[in-house]
């Protein structure tokens, strides 16, 4: 197994007597897009700020390519490119000058690299304009450009699609996927937009009240048929018969509640199930198909958003 | 080290990319021009003294001054001139140049504005989050910014010098033998005009550096530019009045304000009698270092949290 791009080891943050982040332990692998999901106030931003050394770590550590951000800051941060919250850049300078200024802070970035990054984010035509004239989408691109200048192996994007229009969101998503797949960059994305996360992440960590309560692997749409949840409305008297049939013929376990039977199944199997149940004389008053989204899982895991 | 140089260069790039910086330098030039015009058109302006009547003119001048300050050094200088038969030159570019030294307070104002904003603005713009996630330590960034403030003060000083000289030549012309008279320890002595200029500007610059450092400290510690600029300017202007109020208190000599006006040692006009030059220099240095250390510690240790 390769060395993780980033490791969080018992990471805690205490402000006053309040524990904001209560001990996070997980690894992020190279080439992986890791989503950081959680309601407001869950500690996402605090965690991200600790990852890049903006906030001091109370306990535990963050290791970047094996280097501790606490004791080996310069070596660790060299591998990180980030946008923390909004892509705020110097509005009174041109996009190019912004990149030039940031390039001087890290040895070994050539002018060619700046041009390359500008091209990558598609800002060639507007790069010499002042940033204050940029739209939010253009700023977001410039923000990504500055984060990529030094070829980081870890890219941290806090709310990257915030305030972007749908086409902008799609573009950002494509950049992120490309970086992970082609350049083997580990990308850490935070968001509260669940559907968005589902489309771009490989794994999603769910944070609630400073604790990681679940890590979900996201299935790739092309590889797997999305699971459907089928709900059948039939009298309780028929439940046993139906459940036995489903178990024997299709290998699924149906849950009964009230007049309803609920079970997961692939889309292709739905017609044959209905046919089988009808032939077995199960009285059905309704069949509903619902797709279980990440949102359901999220709400299921997270419960109510209670800020402690 | 080259890394540090790049950081300073970045700060300069950012500073001079802002229109406000150029406006400030423009204001400085306009003030110098305004001062030159006022001096040239004032009633008391004398371009050249008449060979026959200059002694009489000086005596009249002395009498005028004596009405409100009989011990003024100007009277001693005038008497010295009459006794030694040294006809004054009238106003020359040289004289204008050292008269301009009071404009270092404008310079201080501008430097305080730059110092007060240079860290606080990064917080206000949100760019601090980009600045502090690079392989440059916070200490390096802190001192690069500080160096950049001093560099700005130096640049503005050069602008002040060049334009004072330029307008001085235009309005008053060159002249004189490069010497001037000054009262030192109750005696009139002849000194080189450059000594005089270096001395006047140098002593003013001490004040400038101290207040700029103070503004820089507030900017780094509290991340509030307006507060930094406001308090520094306020303290700079009330400083000498505070000295007056507390001069009879035993702690007065340890107060920064009492020591900051180093011209008291060249003119001999001291508010607190037992101050010595060495004592003042040490006191100022101690305050200066405290300002820098507080700013540095808070800048490097405090979390950069969200809004």
pLDDT-derived band at A307, boundaries 50, 70, 90: very low
Highest averaged pLDDT of the listed ranges A208-217, A269-278, B259-268, B291-300? B291-300
Q: How many Å lie between the alpha carbon of A277 and the closest alpha carbon of chain B? A: 57
The whole-chain average pLDDT of chain A stands at 85
CA-CA distance, B268 to B188, in Å (whole number)?
13
pLDDT-derived band at B200, boundaries 50, 70, 90: confident
- Contact criterion met (CB below 8 Å) for A243 and A261: yes
The pLDDT, as a whole number, for residue A223 is 42
Which of A112-126, A232-246, B57-71 is the least confident region?
B57-71
Residues of B in contact with A100 (CB under 8 A): 13
Higher pLDDT, B214 or B3: B214
Higher pLDDT, B106 or B61: B106
Residues of chain B above pLDDT 90, percent: 41
Residues of B in contact with A155 (CB under 8 A): none
Out of B17, B135, B301, the one facing A74 most closely (by C-beta) is B135
Higher pLDDT, A24 or B191: A24
Chain B contact residues (CB < 8 Å to A): 3, 6-7, 9-10, 13-14, 17-19, 125-127, 129-137, 301, 303-306
DSSP β-bridge partners for residue A7: A27, A63
Residues of A in contact with B118 (CB under 8 A): none
The yes-or-no verdict on residue A222 having pLDDT over 90 is no
Q: How many Å lie between the alpha carbon of A145 and the closest alpha carbon of chain B? A: 12
Mean pLDDT of the region A258-285: 84
Contact A49 B3 (CB under 8 A): no
pLDDT of A62-104, one tens digit each? 999 999 999 999 999 999 999 988 888 999 999 999 999 999 9
Residue of chain A minimizing CA distance to B144: A105
- pTM to 2 decimals? 0.82
Out of A45, A84, A106, the one facing B134 most closely (by C-beta) is A106
- Contact criterion met (CB below 8 Å) for B127 and A89: yes
The yes-or-no verdict on residue B20 having pLDDT over 60 is yes
**Is A265 within 8 Å of chain B by CB?**
no
CA-CA distance, A28 to A183, in Å (whole number)?
15
The pLDDT, as a whole number, for residue B79 is 81
Residues of chain A above pLDDT 90, percent: 36
CA-CA distance, A23 to B267, in Å (whole number)?
66
Residues 277-296 of A with CB under 8 A from B: none
Higher pLDDT, B221 or A165: B221
Mean pLDDT of the region A202-207: 89
The pLDDT, as a whole number, for residue A121 is 85
pLDDT-derived band at A225, boundaries 50, 70, 90: very low
Which of A33-37, A140-144, B122-126, B269-273 is the least confident region?
B269-273
Contact B135 A78 (CB under 8 A): yes
Mean pLDDT of the region A269-295: 81
pLDDT of B37-91, one tens digit each? 988 887 666 666 777 777 788 788 888 888 877 777 778 788 888 887 777 777 7
The pLDDT, as a whole number, for residue B50 is 73
Residue of chain B minimizing CA distance to A48: B305
Higher pLDDT, A245 or A99: A99
The pLDDT, as a whole number, for residue B100 is 82
Question: Which tokens go with B147?
Answer: 């160096």
Contact A54 B129 (CB under 8 A): yes
Q: Let me know if A278 is exposed, middle or buried by CB neighbors in 10 A (0-12, 13-18, 19+).
A: exposed
Which of A32-41, A222-231, B140-149 is the least confident region?
A222-231
The whole-chain average pLDDT of chain B stands at 86
**Is A250 within 8 Å of chain B by CB?**
no
The pLDDT, as a whole number, for residue B210 is 93
Residues of A in contact with B9 (CB under 8 A): 104
Quote the Cα angle for B61-B65-B71, to 5°: 125
Q: From residue B298, how far is each of A77, A113, B117, B220, B223 by CA, in Å?
A: 21, 35, 16, 7, 10
């Amino acid at each position: 197994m390769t060395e993780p791009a980033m490791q969080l080891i018992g990471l805690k943050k205490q402000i006053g007597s309040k524990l904001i982040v209560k001990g996070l332990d997980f690894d992020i692998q190279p080439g992986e897009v890791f989503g950081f999901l959680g309601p407001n106030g869950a500690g996402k931003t605090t965690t991200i700020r600790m990852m890049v050394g903006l906030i001091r770590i109370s306990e535990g550590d963050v290791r970047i390519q094996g280097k501790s951000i606490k004791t080996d800051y310069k070596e660790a941060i060299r591998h990180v490119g980030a946008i923390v919250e909004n892509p705020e850049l110097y509005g009174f300078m041109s996009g190019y000058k912004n990149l030039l200024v940031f390039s001087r802070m890290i040895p070994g970035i050539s002018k060619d690299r700046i041009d390359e990054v500008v091209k990558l984010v598609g800002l060639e035509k507007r790069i010499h304009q002042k940033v204050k004239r940029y739209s939010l989408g253009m700023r977001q691109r410039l923000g990504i450009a500055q984060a990529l200048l030094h070829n980081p192996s870890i890219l941290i994007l806090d709310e990257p699609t915030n305030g972007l229009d749908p086409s902008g969101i799609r573009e950002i998503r494509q950049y992120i996927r490309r970086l992970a797949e082609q350049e083997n960059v580990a990308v850490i994305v935070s968001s509260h937009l669940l559907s968005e996360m589902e489309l771009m992440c490989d794994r999603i960590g769910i944070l609630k009240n400073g604790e990681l309560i679940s890590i979900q692997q996201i299935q790739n749409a092309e590889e797997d048929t999305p699971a459907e949840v089928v709900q059948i409305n039939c009298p309780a008297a028929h439940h046993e018969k139906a459940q036995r049939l489903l178990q024997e013929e299709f290998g699924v376990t149906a849950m009964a509640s009230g007049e309803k039977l609920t079970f997961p199944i692939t889309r292709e199997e739905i017609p044959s199930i209905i046919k089988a149940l009808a032939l077995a004389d199960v009285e059905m008053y309704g069949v509903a198909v619902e797709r279980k989204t990440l949102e359901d899982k999220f709400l299921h895991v997270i419960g109510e958003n209670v800020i402690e | 080290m080259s890394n540090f140089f790049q950081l300073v260069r970045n700060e300069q790039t950012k500073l001079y990319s802002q229109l406000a910086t150029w406006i400030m330098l423009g204001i400085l030039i306009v003030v110098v021009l305004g001062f030159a015009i006022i001096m040239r058109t004032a009633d008391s302006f004398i371009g050249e003294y008449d060979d026959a009547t200059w002694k009489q003119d000086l005596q009249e001048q002395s009498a005028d001054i004596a009405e409100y300050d009989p011990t003024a050094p100007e009277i001693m200088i005038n008497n010295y001139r009459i006794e030694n038969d040294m006809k004054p030159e009238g106003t020359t570019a040289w004289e204008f140049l050292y008269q301009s030294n009071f404009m270092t307070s404008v310079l201080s104002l501008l430097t305080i504005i730059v110092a007060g904003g240079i860290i606080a603005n990064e917080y206000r713009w949100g760019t601090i989050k980009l600045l502090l996630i690079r392989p440059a330590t916070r200490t390096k960034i802190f001192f690069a910014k500080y160096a950049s403030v001093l560099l700005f003060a130096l640049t503005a000083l050069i602008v002040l010098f060049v334009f004072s000289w330029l307008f001085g030549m235009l309005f008053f012309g060159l002249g004189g033998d490069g010497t001037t008279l000054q009262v030192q320890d109750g005696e009139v002595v002849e000194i080189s005009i450059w000594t005089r200029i270096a001395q006047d500007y140098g002593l003013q610059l001490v004040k400038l550096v101290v207040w700029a450092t103070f503004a820089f400290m507030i900017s780094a510690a509290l991340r509030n530019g307006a507060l930094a600029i406001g308090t520094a300017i306020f303290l700079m202007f009330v400083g000498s009045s505070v000295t007056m109020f507390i001069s009879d208190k035993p702690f007065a000599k340890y107060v920064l304000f009492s020591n900051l006006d180093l011209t008291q040692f060249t003119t001999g006009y001291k508010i607190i009698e037992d101050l010595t030059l060495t004592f003042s220099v040490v006191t100022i240095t101690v305050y200066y270092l405290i300002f820098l250390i507080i700013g540095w510690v808070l800048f490097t240790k405090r979390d950069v949290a969200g809004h």
